[in-house]
Structure formats: C-alpha cells, structure tokens
Chains A and B, each alone.
Chain A
Amino acid sequence: MAVTMNVADRTLGLSLRALNLFAGSELVERAGLRKPAARLVERATRDGIKAAGTASRTFTAATRLGRPARLRATSSSGLFDLTPDDDQQMLRDTFKEFGAGELRPRAQAADAACEAPAELIDQAAELGLTMLGVPEDLGGAVSERSAMTTVLVAEALANGDAGLATAILAPAGVAAALALWGDADQQSTYLPPFVGDDVPGAALALMETRALFNPFSLQTIARPKDGGYVLSGAKALVPGAAKAELFLVGAQLEGKGPALFIVESSAAGVFTEPEPAMGLRAAATATLTLAEVELPGMALVGGGDPAVYAECVHRARLAWCAVAVGTAQAVLDHVIPYVNERKAFGEPISHRQAVAFAVSDIAIELQGMRLALWRAASLADREKPFAKEAAVARHLCATKGAVIGSQGVQLLGGHGYVKEYPVERWFRDLRATGVMEGALLV
C-alpha cells in the first residue's frame, strides 16, 4: 500500500506538472486546446491512480465494434512546409520537457539496472502516449493519421534518453498497430486497456538473432492448425518483454509470407529471457521464445496481408529513426558547450578547425537524417507510398547516427569514454538504433 501511495503521489505530481506544461503554452491561450492535446490533458488529470502491478490480465471485449475504427489521412495544402502544427508543437515541447526532466536524470541508473523504473512507465502512460495512434472513437486522442506527431514525440523523448524512450514507446507502438490494422474484434478486445487507466506492457517483436537478419525473411514460423495458428521461434531484443502482457509477433505464415500475430503473454509456451545489449539497456530488452504457442484464428492481424507486414516494418523503422534523431540531437547539444568550455593549449578546443568541423558535420548529417525521416512520416500520414523514403531515412539514421555517436565520444576524449558523462551511452544507443527492427512503431 505504501508503495502504491508513493507511486500515486509521484504520478499525480507528474500529472500536475504535465498540466502545467500544457497550460503554460501560449498556444493554449491562442487557439484553445485542440485535439489531441486536449485529450491528453483530460487523461493527465483523470482521477484514480492504479497500482503498479502488471499481473497478466484477461483481454476481453466489453463491447464489440461493428467495424474497425480507422484514422483519416491527413490533408496537405500541397506546399513544402517544415512547420509542425500547433498540436504537434505543444506535444513536442511537452515531451521534450518530460524527456529532459524525467528521463535524462534517470537514464544512467536505468542503463545500469537494465530496467526502466516502474513509476516512469506509469508516468508516461498517464501522459497518454498510447493514445497518440488510436482513434477518438476508440477512446484515443486522434482522428487523423499521426505518424508525424509520434515521430516528433519520439524525437523529444529520445532527446532525454533513448533506452527509456524505447521502454515507454513500445506499448504505444502496439496500440497504433492495432488501430491501423486490427479488425473489429481485435480492436474491441485489445485496444480498450491501452486508452484506459492501466496500460498493459506490450511490444512489437520482429527481430531475430542472426547475422544478416532481414525482417522480410523470418525463421519464426506460424503453422495453421484447427482454424488457429501454432507459432514457433524466437524473437530478439523485445523491449520490456518480461513485464509485457501483449506482443505483436512477426512470423512466417506458411504459404503466405511474413505476417503479424497477436500473442498474449499468458499463452502457453511463451517465455522471456533477459537479453541485455550494447545499447537501449533501460528498455530491458529480452528474448521472446515461442514454443509451439497455440493461437486462435483471430490472432492473425490484417488477414496476413504481406502489405500490412511490410508497412509495419517501415513504420517501425521510422520510430527507430526518430529515436536516433533525438539521441543524435542530444549529442550535438552536449558537445557544443563542451568544446567551447574545454581548453587545450591555452584556448577552447572549439577554436581548432579539426574540432569545429566535426561539430559542423554532426549538425549537417543530423538535420539530413531528420528531414528524411519527416518526409517519410508525412507521406505515411497522407497514405502515400513511403517505403523507399523510410528506407532512405533508416539508412541515414543507421550510418550517420552511429558516426555521430562515435564523434560525440571522440570530441570529449577520455571524458567521453567514462560513465560520468552520457556520451558513451549515446554511442551505444546510436549503434543499437540502426540495428533494431520492429519493437517500436509510429
């Protein structure tokens, strides 16, 4: 009880802080709160704070939808524009502050512990992250496609810490996927908890542990059986898997190609095992083993359409790009004051071109990563093809992101190598973001 009180107090405190952030925004003054920000404030001030327990629940549909709810495509004036709309800007500011105030101070300890603090997961849920991809009709926060909004939020969170951002974004990815491709049954069964008071731990599991992994060529197999499916295989680096209640698992559906399956953690044959990695350690990555897991027919998402699976891979890549961009921005923001303050040979090292040009290159490549990401995300929201654009963003974020992580350490020298500074963590996280597939989704 005492623990619950403590969590409740902290969460309430955070809710009030979140409300302050919203209320302090001049945008509220100007336009009045609009969705989805208004929905999030509503959420942040809702009464009743739940206990921290994440015992496996039974997912059931209280009411059944007649048909699945879908988000509208966003419209465009047809003009080139890099201005986030008022809502996006407000959410971006809010989560930037959340990242700086709540994630960054906890990042080092969470990295060491290979776990995100439970109260932080709750705080993030309180802020309504899992509602960002869910239609209002289903209790979510949005009516239009929101990949771009989620990208901005993920950038902002990762700017605080990539590992913790991964931990708190993982359930939102599952919610968004259900909103995008779930049928009426799947939506009515699984989505309500994601917009309720007790958001389940959840993650999208696509990766597998082997060299040259290609998410379109899976070794996890789904075999049709008695109107349902039997899943066998192992998924790698699944964030928060030990405490998750729900997984979306990518598996090769015999005779059809790769497909997504809804797997409840309570199903027989589902095992998790901690799998700490070089980076993103706060996300408590784990191996998810599926040993002849029997699933009902309704577990198959999107009718097993390969196009749905492909879009899922692409959207996951965008989420990782957003995490990489936010982390790379953290590197840039850190090295600028450092090279200005650090003196060698009687003057700041930033007076040397070799140092200054390295900073310039970080800034150039970072902005290129961001723009490529934004392009793909905005196309996704307008329901235009974005596979190629997502691949471009992914390639840039993987290659340039890793270089930025390395250059960050290099610019700090020995200081970059020790845990006293966050830069070595960014080095590790930026390598990881370029390798990850699945796990997150926008």
Chain B
Amino acid sequence: MSINLEIPRKFRPLVRQTRQVAENVFRPVSRKYDREEHAYPKELDMLAALIKGMDEGGGTGGAGAGAGSKNGSTNGEVPGTTKNGANLASALSIMELCWGDVGLLLSMPGQGLGNSAIAAVANEIQLESYGGRWAAMAITEPEAGSDSAAIRATAVLDGDEYVLNGEKIYVTSGERADLVVVWATLDRQQGRAAIKSFVVERSNPGMKLIRLEHKLGIRASDTAAFSLEDCRVPKDALLGDPEIKPKGGFAGVMQTFDNTRPLVAAMAIGVARAALEHTRDALKEAGVEIDSDAPAYVQTAAAAELLDMEADFESARLLTMQACWMADNSKPNSLQASMAKAKAGRMGTDVCLRCIALCGAAGIGEGELLEKWARDAKILDIFEGTQQIQLLIIARQLLKKTSAELK
C-alpha cells in the first residue's frame, strides 16, 4: 500500500479501449452531428451494444455517464484495503470518450443520468423492470433551475397511480430515452422533503414533447422540453421512500449528485485534453518549443500559456480522481465531488477558450474542432450544478453553514 495517483493498472485496458472508441467512432462524426442538430447519431447503437457486451464481460465498470454507483465494485480486492471501482472506472472512460466528443457521450443509449438515479435508489423490483433501459432525468423547470427544491411539478396519488402535472425542460436525451425520471412534489407546502422522483415511460401519453432546444454546444445530444398533463404512472414508479419525511429524503436525492458530479468533471477533463493536445501540436508546428523543466518565464508566452493550462488541467484531473476514489471507498465525498466539478468546469471552458486564442483563425474556424470543444465545454460548468452552486456547496461545508445562512 502506498500513495499512488496514477491510472490504476487494472483500468488501463479500459482506458485504451475507450480511447479507441473516442478516436474511431466519435471523432469521425463529431462535426457531422454538431451541424445536424437533432439528427439521431445511429453510429451509437452499435457502440452501445458493444459496450454492453464489454460490461457483461466484466471488469470495465461501465463506460458512460450512467455508470456511477453508490459503492465501488469490489472486484476481488482484499477487504480493508483501498478499492478502485466503478466510479473511478467510469470517470476514466468518460475522460477518454469526451476527448472524442461530449455530445456523443451524452447521447450514448442506456447511459442517461436517469440510469444513475435508478441505480442509486431503485428497489429490486424496479431495478428489474427498468434495468437495461435508457433513462433520462427531468429536474429543471422554467422557474426552477439550480434551486431544485423549488420545483413546481406535482404528483398526486389517485388510487394505484400518481398523477403528474407540470413542465420540465433541459431533459438530456429526453426524446431518445425509453424512460424519464421526473422530479415532482407530493406537497408544495412541505418543501424539499416532499420532492420525489418518478419513472415515466417515454411513451406515456401524458408526457408531451414540447420542443427540442437549439444549443450553443453538445448539439449531438438532444435536449427536450416536456409538459406533463395528467400524466398517470403506477404507484410503484416512485423511486425510494413514498413517505414525506422532514429529514433526509431530499438529501438522499441530492446524494446522486455526489456520484454524478465527478463524472461531469471527467467530461470537462476529456474535452480540455483534446484542446490541449491539439494546441500543443499546433504550437509545435509553429516552431514553439516547450520545456517543462525551465521556468515558464524564460520561454515564449505561448509556451508559458500552455504550461499554465496543463497545470490547471492536472489539478482538475486529480481532484476528479480523488472524488471518484472516495466514492469507490464509501467515503463521504460531497465536498470533493463539488471541488472536482467546480475546478474542472471552469478549467474546461477556460482552457478551450485560451487554446483558441493560441490557434487563432484555425482556432475559431470550423475546419478544426477546437471552436466546437469550447462550445461543448461551456455546458459542463452549468449542468449538474453550476460553478456558483458548487462554490456554495463547498463553502457551506467548510464554514458549516446552512442554506438559510449562506444563501
């Protein structure tokens, strides 16, 4: 046992495989689906089948955004020693796949955020009926974004069914998924404790697609808006405890984010590395020499800029690995998950924009992918909790403040 921050030996094959996918499946169609927004990337169907096969073969720990799980797989390791499990494996493979294309990763069939929620809180019967199906997540509403406790969609029990009403926006893969995990309140008077999540079949006639968004980036990924109009779901579509308990219920729901935030951080790391590698090559072609040994200030401004970005990148990458490692070892990681997300989120956009500046016309031109990566990266500092929300979570934990004290 010793301190080690390298990619675990046992995950190196996974990293190599996912890198292959990123290079040979994602990159060739990256620009295509950026231009053809809302077109279904059919190349992904075959890939999803392949990855499912890999998962069933064991050892890969999943390859998509939905793979985060409450506990790391033990994978034959000795109890009492450190574990490297599904959280870290997912993050590492996401880093590779997002080096390929963030939008396409988000479009991976069967790897939705709803799958994470189901994996984290579903009971056995629910796992059986929803397992293996593609589940999107519907939290945000026109009047409730970061403030997810303020959601207005309602769920009313009527006999053996809940009746859902309200409006949901920014549902990633909302059009393509089989299921949508919808957040709604059982009683708006009771605040966050009454917020529950419900699994809704995408084919449910009460859930109507209003529109697909036109976006700055991740255009390969469909982002849907729904209205719920007397949308009836069976009683056992509710995930978790149906009782409204004053304490713990909402925290449980929010815990899903401790696992998913590092995965979004991993997306930012993947896209940032794409930009950095591209820019390093471009600078080399331009005759810029980069020496990591010599102080940055004795090198060209371009070299110094790149070294600065690479250091920031590494900071974000290691923070992300830390958060995943903690999750795999069942250590509470809410603080570290938010630190990873905050750092990687801002680093991703910052790095891409600065790389564009270094590459000039080739940086903003559509002949290269750099400008696309910058557009893609921006969402990663927004969804799964904005930069500002992460800073709030971190500060509240460090300063031991409630949300009423530190607003």
Q: A residues touching B (Cβ–Cβ < 8 Å)?
A: 74-85, 88, 148, 212-214, 216, 310, 313-314, 332, 336, 339-340, 348, 350-351, 353, 356-357, 359-361, 363-365, 367-369, 371-372, 374-375, 377-379, 381-382, 387-389, 391-392, 395-396, 399-400
Contact = CB atoms under 8 A, between A and B. Distances in A.
B155 interface: no
A360 B391 contact: yes
Q: Is the interface of B mostly helix, strand, loop or mixed?
A: helix
B4 A81 contact: yes
6 contacts: A75-B2, A83-B82, A357-B391, A360-B392, A363-B339, A377-B3
Interface in B279-308: 292-298, 307-308
Contacts of B297: 212
B322 A359 contact: no
A88 B113 CA distance: 40
A78 B8 contact: yes
B182 interface: no
Nearest to A400: B315
B295 A364 contact: no
B5 A374 contact: yes
B395 interface: yes
A387 B292 contact: yes
B2 A359 contact: no
A367 B314 contact: no
B332 to A, nearest CB: 15
Interface in B1-51: 1-10
Interface centre among B1, B4, B8, B342 (most CB of A within 10 A): B4
Contacts of A85: 1-3
B48 to A, nearest CB: 28
Given A79-B4, A80-B6, A388 B294 contact: no
Contacts of A378: 2-5
Interface in B234-292: 292
Contact of B401 (A213, A351, A391): A351
A389 B4 CA distance: 13
B220 interface: no
A79 B399 contact: no
B307 A371 contact: no
Interface centre among A372, A375, A389, A395 (most CB of B within 10 A): A395
Nearest to B404: A351
Nearest to B83: A79
B5 A356 contact: no
A392 B310 contact: yes
A348 B396 CA distance: 13
A62 B343 CA distance: 55
Contacts of B318: 368, 371-372, 375
Given A79-B8, A350-B406, A339 B315 contact: no
B73 to A, nearest CB: 13
